[in-house]
Amino acid sequence: MTNCYFRAFFSRLDRSLADDLSSIVMTFRTCCVSSRAQVTIGLMLGVYITMATRSHFNLMLVDASESFQVPNVHFMLNIVYQVGFMAVQVPSGIWLDGVNPVPVLGVIVLALAVSSFISPFTFRAGLLYPSAMLAGINGMIVGCWWPSMGVMLSNWAPPAELSCMYSTINTGIPGGTILGTVIPGIIYTNRNSSDFHHSFFVLAAACALWGFFWLYAFYGSPLKDPGVGEEELQYLSTHIKPKSELAVPWKYIATSVPVWSMLLANYGSTVFYAALLYYMPVYVKTVLKLDLSQNGFISATPPLSQMVVIFITGYVAMVVQKKEWTTVTNIRKVGSPH
């Protein structure tokens, strides 16, 4: 339905433009890359852009903190963001499980485009409450991304390939962090006061481009995608089982030792990553006394090594699982603490 709407939208603007765009999309979808690989690439780019808006928002907030004339404003707005992010995780995960994830993911990134467009004006004016509102809304928007992406992967990822697809997509977490900090580093190398909004607008444009292309070119499941070949469709239909309409066993989840162990492992890694993401730019600015362009490049160095490790470990996990050298449980036990 969404794809038909956007097809009609482009046709009303310019039928020849719509035909050209359709030709580009079909070329993309019929190249020598499987449809599930195209979904993986699309989601990976989406994670890049989503994380870039987050790290960029944080870096620019550090740089503009004096405009607010409020102590610890960086700390307060990041708390607001995290509260918004956490508040939507479970509700959105429950609701999105039965929803087509394609329009949801597209709207999420388009909403980030709007937010990125508005942010520089509230930052520059030192408007605390509008900036706090933007931080909370951003947190809720990005919080809906991960459950939506999980639904998309559950429709497209065969179990034996899930680790490789997921790790490839998640290279966008450190990769997007790098992107969101390097862009200001490039733009503000020769900085003057009128430059402040430029990097926000670059990210807003990137979000808009990805959002519209995603809505136009992708489908929620292999059965709905006309670009899937017969051989791949048969393979996916065989290996991806239909979802059962079962009640969520909340009591079992709440009392499950494996669930709590994974939660604690994820909590620890997230705390470390958040501290690195949020406060390394603060350290570079306040202790090292470096300007915005240098801050951007230095803050990008830790995620670079993380991106390499994520890709390698995901590929190794896929090979080990396919060769049946050990169980999936052992692979996850070895990988989770790291």
Q: Is residue 173 within 8 Å of 311, Cβ to Cβ?
A: no
- Residue 267 belongs to some domain of the structure: yes
pLDDT at 246: 64
Q: Is residue 315 within 8 Å of 215, Cβ to Cβ?
A: no
Helical segments of the chain, H only: 2-13, 15-30, 35-63, 65-68, 73-87, 89-96, 101-125, 128-156, 162-170, 172-187, 198-217, 230-239, 250-254, 257-286, 292-299, 301-323, 328-335
Rounded to the nearest 10°, the torsion over CA 45, 48, 49, 55 is 180
- Residue 16 belongs to some domain of the structure: no
8 CB burial (10 A radius; 0-12, 13-18, 19+): exposed
Stronger pLDDT, 186 or 23, i.e. the higher one:
186
Q: Domain containing 263: what range?
A: 33-238+250-335
pTM: predicted TM-score of the whole model, two decimal places: 0.76
pLDDT at 27: 40
CA torsion sign for 334, 336, 337, 338 is positive
**pLDDT grade, residue 8 (50/70/90)?**
very low
Stronger pLDDT, 72 or 252, i.e. the higher one:
252
- Residue 21 belongs to some domain of the structure: no
- Residue 88 belongs to some domain of the structure: yes
78-86: average pLDDT: 87
Residues 6+ apart with CB under 8 A from 171: 44, 307, 310, 311
Residues 118 and 121: their CA atoms lie apart, in Å, by: 6
Stronger pLDDT, 108 or 92, i.e. the higher one:
108
Residue linked to tokens 């993986």:
40
Average pLDDT along the chain: 77
User: What are the pLDDT digits (tens) for 137-189?
Assistant: 988 998 889 889 988 988 898 887 887 788 788 888 888 888 887 777 677 66
Q: Furthest-apart CA pair in the chain: how many Å?
A: 62
- Residue 19 belongs to some domain of the structure: no
Most confident region among 40-49, 117-126, 233-242 by mean pLDDT: 40-49
Residues 61 and 196: their CA atoms lie apart, in Å, by: 11
Q: What total of structural domains would you count in the chain?
A: 1
- Residue 290 belongs to some domain of the structure: yes
Stronger pLDDT, 213 or 188, i.e. the higher one:
213
Residues 338 and 313: their CA atoms lie apart, in Å, by: 10
Which residue type does 166 have? Y
Closest CA to 144 of 98, 95, 217, 200: 95
- Residue 118 belongs to some domain of the structure: yes
CATH number of the domain bearing residue 319: 1.20.1250.20
In the chain, DSSP finds a helix count (H) and a strand count (E) of 17, 0
Which residue type does 130 have? P
pLDDT at 111: 93
Q: Which two tokens stand for residue 305?
A: 């090594």
Which residue type does 329 have? T
Range from 11-15, 38-42, 289-293 carrying the lowest mean pLDDT: 11-15
**pLDDT grade, residue 196 (50/70/90)?**
low
Q: Which two tokens stand for residue 204?
A: 């807003």
- Residue 54 belongs to some domain of the structure: yes
56-60: average pLDDT: 80
